[in-house]
């Protein structure tokens, strides 16, 4: 009956009385009416429906009340209830939390519709994650002060401390809510002393719920996996061990899951081979390793360590395409014409023997500087041919709508103790772009292959069109800076964004405006329902090329081998199964990205601790109610608090993203160059504070 009631209310625009619902349900007796009354009370208690003062019922989501998860600002002064309704997050002031804590699911009442502000009226679900904090003893009482300031302290009874002592960083779980409103907890694990090398980063890893060790069951199962390719595993595979195949990766890479090869035919077409480690041969879905790979979803790449999806014995060993050893692979051969289009392809299982472990640094010397490092002489011609092909592929991608944001990335160099000693921009040359182009070509080929198969769903990598409202706001903002951007947001496509990027890339403010353009885009995610990839201008796209570090790639490999009727693999997955996989993989990817950014931010703060009082050139990267965010040339970001801008009352204009002095009329805009001084760097809050020295540029 509950589902029928909800369906009726969903399809009716106006609220209904109990008698109107009774008639629509076709009930005739008084007993049925009483049962309806009880069900309505249950739905009301669960806040699926709302009863108005006039005793009429409507869906809760259609009322002046909303449900969502509250995210409290680290200052504790306010928060937002995220309802899942696009841009309709509801601001909640601290005085209206009504006992809610960070990440609780709450019901809220809209109190100011114009400003989208409200108050919490009920806590529907208490969030109880495992948290990380410092164990402190005061007046003989132990408690844990959380690293995340959004959470309260937990009192710890002696028997629940696991032997923790003052200064230990611990993983803790809430066990009880006390009448005083405080919480009691239990120490689950001691991570180490806060001053121990690496414990600070480990604390961030645990805060995001990322496991850093493998279970005994996984370790035991590793013993059954060979260290070298066995003869029986080669049977039935295409033997490519005599072909010129090699890997190209970063200087510090330890696992190699993709290798490439190239040839050219008499008619001028290129034959590109992309050979990917056959991880699925060793990692079965129902094995302990396979289940662990599912739970992790992805490898996490931090400044001073990698937390792998697969144990190192696999990721750096039998599954890694190491130089001059036999390895099992899945190959995608593509014939590509002079316009950069794939005209034919072949997908098959193979065995290779990589002839060279190349680095981007050395490949870039050949492609960008015409220098051939020692040991690369036999491969120089192949690399030059690859560069020719990569240029064609990129030209073809741009023609169809590929968006090249080319945003600078931060590179943090640490010493043996994990301390940051240098921060700058990550260099990228033709080698990096070449591999990116080849991997995209292979991913598109695999996705296209599956798209045209009957009744064979796939985990696609999708990127939806941006929200119209965000595009409108971005265009208004650019026009306020003096850039005349044309185009209708409703018909906005990747070609229109290309035109915007073309204008912005020629400006001095590109590194800031490019990031703003990127933020107008939706997040790419995994889904069995293909809607294309907006950013790549691609109709069909998947992830096939990194099964060592990404779960979806591993699933795609299993699907390919299932189609080829290889023993031990399902022919295909159901849509429901792939939906679960895709949603989980998207969540795990989001978790890893947040963890990586948190570590990067923490390391930036740690680095700047040694530079307080120093002056730097900077650019205004964003503006908010909190103040002016600035970015240094090495991409480190921090805040000039609005109270510290100057001797005036500065107001924030959200529409055109400026702050303006009420008396002086002085305006600060995104993209302005300024001179700043470092005033503070707090590892506790992961914040860097700056103050103005002077303006360098005027808008």
- What share of the chain in percent tops pLDDT 90? 64
Cα-based angle 228, 231, 234 (whole degrees, multiple of 5): 95
Contact of 540 with 530, CB cutoff 8 Å: yes
Residue 53 predicted with pLDDT over 90: no
Q: Which residue has the higher pLDDT, 89 or 143?
A: 143
Q: Would you state the pLDDT for residue 452?
A: 93
The helix (run of H) or strand (run of E) holding residue 500 is: helix 494-504
Residue 327 predicted with pLDDT over 70: yes
Q: How many CB atoms lie within 10 A of CB 118?
A: 25
| pLDDT, tens digit (0-9, with 9 covering 90-100), for 516-565 | 999 999 999 999 999 999 999 999 999 999 999 999 999 999 999 998 88
pLDDT bin (cut points 50, 70, 90) of residue 8 is confident
Radius of gyration of the chain (CA): 29
Cα 574 to chain center, whole Å?
26
> Average pLDDT in the 666-673 region?
90
Residue 87 predicted with pLDDT over 60: no
Q: Facing residues of 330 across strands? A: 276, 349
What is the C-alpha separation between 439 and 546, in angstroms, rounded? 9
Q: How many CB atoms lie within 10 A of CB 233?
A: 17
What is the C-alpha separation between 22 and 43, in angstroms, rounded? 15
Residues 6+ apart with CB under 8 A from 621: 512, 515, 629, 630, 631, 637, 670
The helix (run of H) or strand (run of E) holding residue 380 is: helix 380-400
> Average pLDDT in the 22-33 region?
88
φ, ψ at 291 (rounded to 5°): -70, -40
Range with the poorest average pLDDT among 72-76, 138-142, 283-287, 686-690: 72-76
Among the listed residues 58, 60, 59, 109, the one whose alpha carbon sits nearest the alpha carbon of residue 81: 109
Query: In this structure, is the dihedral angle defined by the CA atoms of residues 82, 85, 91 and 94, taken in order, positive or negative?
Result: negative
DSSP-assigned letters across all residues of 417-456: TS-EEEEEEPP--HHHHHHHHHHHHHHHHHHHHHHTSTT-
Q: Would you state the pLDDT for residue 565?
A: 81
| pLDDT, tens digit (0-9, with 9 covering 90-100), for 382-406 | 999 999 999 999 999 999 999 998 8
| pLDDT, tens digit (0-9, with 9 covering 90-100), for 228-261 | 999 999 999 999 999 999 999 999 888 999 999 9
Residue 211 predicted with pLDDT over 90: yes
Among the listed residues 308, 307, 305, the one whose alpha carbon sits nearest the alpha carbon of residue 414: 305
pLDDT bin (cut points 50, 70, 90) of residue 488 is low
Contact of 512 with 470, CB cutoff 8 Å: no
pLDDT bin (cut points 50, 70, 90) of residue 199 is very high
Q: Which domains does the chain have, with CATH numbers?
A: 2-61 (1.10.10.10), 64-125 (2.40.50.140), 131-196 (2.40.50.700), 216-461+532-597 (no CATH), 465-521 (no CATH), 612-695 (2.40.50.140)
> Average pLDDT in the 12-40 region?
88
Residue 116 predicted with pLDDT over 70: yes
* Mean pLDDT estimate for the chain: 91
Q: What is the dihedral of CA 78, 83, 88, 89, to 10 degrees?
A: 10
| pLDDT, tens digit (0-9, with 9 covering 90-100), for 406-432 | 888 999 999 988 899 999 999 889 999
What is the C-alpha separation between 86 and 103, in angstroms, rounded? 18
pLDDT bin (cut points 50, 70, 90) of residue 268 is very high
Q: Would you state the pLDDT for residue 487?
A: 61
> Average pLDDT in the 133-159 region?
92
Q: What is the DSSP letter of 202?
A: H
What is the C-alpha separation between 106 and 83, in angstroms, rounded? 10
CB crowding 425-454: b at 16 or more within 10 Å, else e: eeeeebbbbbbebbbbbbbbbbbbbbeeee
> Average pLDDT in the 274-285 region?
96
Q: Would you state the pLDDT for residue 160?
A: 95
| pLDDT, tens digit (0-9, with 9 covering 90-100), for 584-629 | 999 999 999 999 999 999 999 999 999 999 999 999 999 988 899 9
Residues 6+ apart with CB under 8 A from 154: 131, 133, 143, 144, 146, 172, 174, 183, 184, 185
Residue 632 predicted with pLDDT over 90: yes
Using CA atoms, how far residue 297 sits from 331, 581, 591, in Å, is 23, 9, 10
Residues 6+ apart with CB under 8 A from 464: 522, 531, 534
φ, ψ at 298 (rounded to 5°): -165, 160
> Average pLDDT in the 6-25 region?
86
pLDDT bin (cut points 50, 70, 90) of residue 698 is low
Query: Hey, is 390 helix, strand or coil?
Result: helix
Q: Would you state the pLDDT for residue 169?
A: 96
> Average pLDDT in the 341-347 region?
97
């Amino acid at each position: 009956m509950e589902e029928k009631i909800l369906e009726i209310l969903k399809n009716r625009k106006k609220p209904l009385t109990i008698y109107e619902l009774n008639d629509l349900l076709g009930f005739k007796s008084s007993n049925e009416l009483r049962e309806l009354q009880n069900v309505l009370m249950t739905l009301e208690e669960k806040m699926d429906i709302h009863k108005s003062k006039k005793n009429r019922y409507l869906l809760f989501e259609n009322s002046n009340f909303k449900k969502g998860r509250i995210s409290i600002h680290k200052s504790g002064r306010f928060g937002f209830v995220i309802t899942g309704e696009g841009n309709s997050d509801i601001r909640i002031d601290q005085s209206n939390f009504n006992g809610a804590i960070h990440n609780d699911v709450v019901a809220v009442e809209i109190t100011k519709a114009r400003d989208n502000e409200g108050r919490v009226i009920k806590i529907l679900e208490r969030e109880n994650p495992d948290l990380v904090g410092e164990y402190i003893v005061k007046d003989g009482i132990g408690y844990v002060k959380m690293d995340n300031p959004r959470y309260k302290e937990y009192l710890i009874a002696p028997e629940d401390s696991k032997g923790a002592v003052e200064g230990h960083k611990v993983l803790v779980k809430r066990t009880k809510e006390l009448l005083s409103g405080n919480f009691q907890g239990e120490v689950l694990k001691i991570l180490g002393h806060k001053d121990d090398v690496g414990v600070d980063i480990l604390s961030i890893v645990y805060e995001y719920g990322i496991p850093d060790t493998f279970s005994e069951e996984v370790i035991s199962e590793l013993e059954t996996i060979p260290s070298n390719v066995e003869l029986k595993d080669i049977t039935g595979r295409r033997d490519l061990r005599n072909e010129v195949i090699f890997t190209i990766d970063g200087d510090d890479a330890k696992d190699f899951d993709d290798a490439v090869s190239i040839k050219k035919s008499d008619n001028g077409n290129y034959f590109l081979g992309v050979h990917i480690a056959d991880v699925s041969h060793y990692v079965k879905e129902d094995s302990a390793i396979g289940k662990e790979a599912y739970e992790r979803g992805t490898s996490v790449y931090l400044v001073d360590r990698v937390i792998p999806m697969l144990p190192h014995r696999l990721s750096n060993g039998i599954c890694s395409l190491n130089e001059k050893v036999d390895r099992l692979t899945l190959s995608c051969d593509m014939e590509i014409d002079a316009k950069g289009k794939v005209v034919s392809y072949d997908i098959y299982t193979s065995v290779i023997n990589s002839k060279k472990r190349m680095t981007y640094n050395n490949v870039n010397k050949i492609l960008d500087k015409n220098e051939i490092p020692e040991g690369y002489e036999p491969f120089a011609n192949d690399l030059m041919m690859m560069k020719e092909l990569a240029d064609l592929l990129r030209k073809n991608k741009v023609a169809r709508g590929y968006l090249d944001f080319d945003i600078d990335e931060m590179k943090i160099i640490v010493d043996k103790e994990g301390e940051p000693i240098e921060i700058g921009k990550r260099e990228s040359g033709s080698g990096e772009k070449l591999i990116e182009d080849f991997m995209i070509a292979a991913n598109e080929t695999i996705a296209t292959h599956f798209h045209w198969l009957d009744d064979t769903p796939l985990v696609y990598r999708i990127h939806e069109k941006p929200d119209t409202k965000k595009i409108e706001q971005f265009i208004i903002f650019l026009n306020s800076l003096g850039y005349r951007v044309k185009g209708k947001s409703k018909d906005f496509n990747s070609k229109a964004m290309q035109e915007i990027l073309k204008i912005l890339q020629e400006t001095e403010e590109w590194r800031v405006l490019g990031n703003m353009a990127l933020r107008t885009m939706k997040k790419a995610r995994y889904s069995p329902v293909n809607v294309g990839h907006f950013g790549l201008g691609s109709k069909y796209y998947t992830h096939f090329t990194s099964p060592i570090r990404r779960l979806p790639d591993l699933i795609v490999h299993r699907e390919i081998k299932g189609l080829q009727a290889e023993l031990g693999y399902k022919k295909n997955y159901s849509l429901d199964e792939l939906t679960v996989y895709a949603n989980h993989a998207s969540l795990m990817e989001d978790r890893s990205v947040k963890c990586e950014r948190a570590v990067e931010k923490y390391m930036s703060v740690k680095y700047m601790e040694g530079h307080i009082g120093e002056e730097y050139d900077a650019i205004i990267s964003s503006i908010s109610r909190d103040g002016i965010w600035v970015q240094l040339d090495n991409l480190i970001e921090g805040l000039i608090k609005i109270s510290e801008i100057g001797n005036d009352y500065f107001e924030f204009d959200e529409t055109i993203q400026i702050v303006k002095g009420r008396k002086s009329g002085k305006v600060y805009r995104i993209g302005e160059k300024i001179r700043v001084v470092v005033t503070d760097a707090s590892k506790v809050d992961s914040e860097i504070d700056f103050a103005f020295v002077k303006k360098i540029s005027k808008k």
